[in-house]
Amino acid sequence: MARRLSDPATTVQVLTLVEQPLEAPPTLDERVADTTEALALAEVLEDPIRLYFAALYRRISAMQTGDFGHSTRCLELMQSLTEKLRQPILMWITKFHEAAEALVVGDHGQAEQLTTEALQIGTDCGQPDAVSFYGSQMVIVRHQQGRLGEFLPVIASVATEMSAMPAFMGAVAAAHLDAGEEHEALALLEGAAADGFTSLPMDIGWLDGVTGYAEVAIELHVVNPAALLLDLLASYHDQVGYNGLMPLEPVAHYLGGLASVLGRWEESEAYFVESTGLNNKVGATFSSARTNLSWGRMLGRRQAPGDTVKARDLLTMAHTTATAHGYGGVERLAVAALQRLD
């Protein structure tokens, strides 16, 4: 209707308003087109608020395609407009996007500082989501630190409160795993797999839930759920999980691990190569360490000619990166995998 009326301001408004309700892996191409159009229109309007939100949603869709350069430019535009307008809600949104940027590159210390600042700004200006957004980002901070299990009570409480979003249970399963509670993690995985994961609606939380269950299936080598999850995620192999708050590893990273559980070695390696390319493009240090770890462990199991040498190189790189950046979980797993090679 806005296009029929040749009303660019309303067109920008509509295109930005529909971005979040439409956010799910199958709609990425559509959302890239919509947010690109919205940003181009907003740049010629004399309306800084519309320009701000057009940049915000273009940032999200750009990150999901692995276009880190464009995503960063959008954040810089958001920062410039925030500094100019000094509106508290924009200051809050920009701050938690800065925290998300730090998580993308694997700087969990900087991310913790920024998300704490965002919590204060959001609380001071009465944002009802301030606490939950802070908690969401702290889940990723603790995940990078290898301390996700410490957050299990908080994650379980949020999942109970947000029962209308079943995807939260994937995070609960992953937290049980990190806490060493493998039986509980397995029970949640098998419960979700019983209906082929159809209980997870295809919405903004779907990818978070599915990848949480994938973590459990990979670490515990649970074959049937791994096969289901591989089929569910395969169409989105070139995407990167990102909702403006919580960055995930590239989907290809999880697919590589799932294919490894199934003994589909060539497919697994191809996914790890794809994940490595996206990690390098984005500059994602934590994701790079995780992919090197998973790839090295896969080669250690496959045992084809030359695999042991390459596995040792990848696991050593993962260990070195994890030690340097404080990725405790990756460091522990890399040490164990290197010991198995020995």
pLDDT value of residue 167: 80
Question: What average pLDDT score do residues 225-233 get?
Answer: 98
Q: Is the pLDDT of residue 164 over 80?
A: no
| 283 or 75, which is more confident | 75
Model confidence at 61, pLDDT cuts 50, 70, 90, reads very high
> pLDDT at position 110, please?
98
- Long-range CB pairs of 134-140 (<8 Å, 24+ gap) are 134/96, 136/245, 136/246, 137/96, 137/99, 137/100, 137/103, 137/111, 137/245, 137/246, 138/112, 139/171, 139/246, 140/103, 140/108, 140/111, 140/246, 140/247
Average pLDDT, the chain: 94
List, for residues 112-129, the tens digit of each pLDDT value: 999 999 999 999 999 999
Look at residue 160 in the predicted model and tell me its pLDDT.
77
| Tokens at 43, concatenated | 């740049």
Residue 288: φ, ψ to 5°: -60, -45
Confidence at 151, pLDDT banded by 50, 70, 90:
confident
**DSSP E strands, the chain:** none
Residue 246 near residue 137, CB atoms below 8 Å: yes
The string of pLDDT tens digits covering residues 170-179 is: 989 999 999 8
| 338 in Cβ contact with 293 (< 8 Å) | no
Which pair of tokens denotes residue 274?
Answer: 């794809």
Q: How far apart are CA 287 and CA 98, in angstroms?
A: 18
DSSP bridge pairs for 250: 240
CA distance 295 to 266: 11
Contact 314, 292 (CB under 8 A): yes
Per-residue pLDDT at 104 exceeds 80: yes
Q: What is the Cα–Cα distance from 198 to 208, expressed in whole angstroms?
A: 14
Please give the average per-residue pLDDT across 2-27, as a whole number: 93
31-57 pLDDT, tens digit each: 999 999 999 999 999 899 999 999 999
- How far is residue 167 from each of residues 200, 211, 329, measured CA to CA in Å? 6, 10, 23
Rg (CA), the chain: 20
Distance CA(329)–CA(290), nearest Å, equals: 9
Residue 240's DSSP bridge partners are: 250
Which tens digits make up the pLDDT trace of 290-322? 999 999 999 999 999 999 999 999 999 999 999
CA distance linking residue 241 with residue 247, whole number of Å: 6
Amino acid at 193: A
pLDDT band at 158 (very low <50, low <70, confident <90, very high): confident
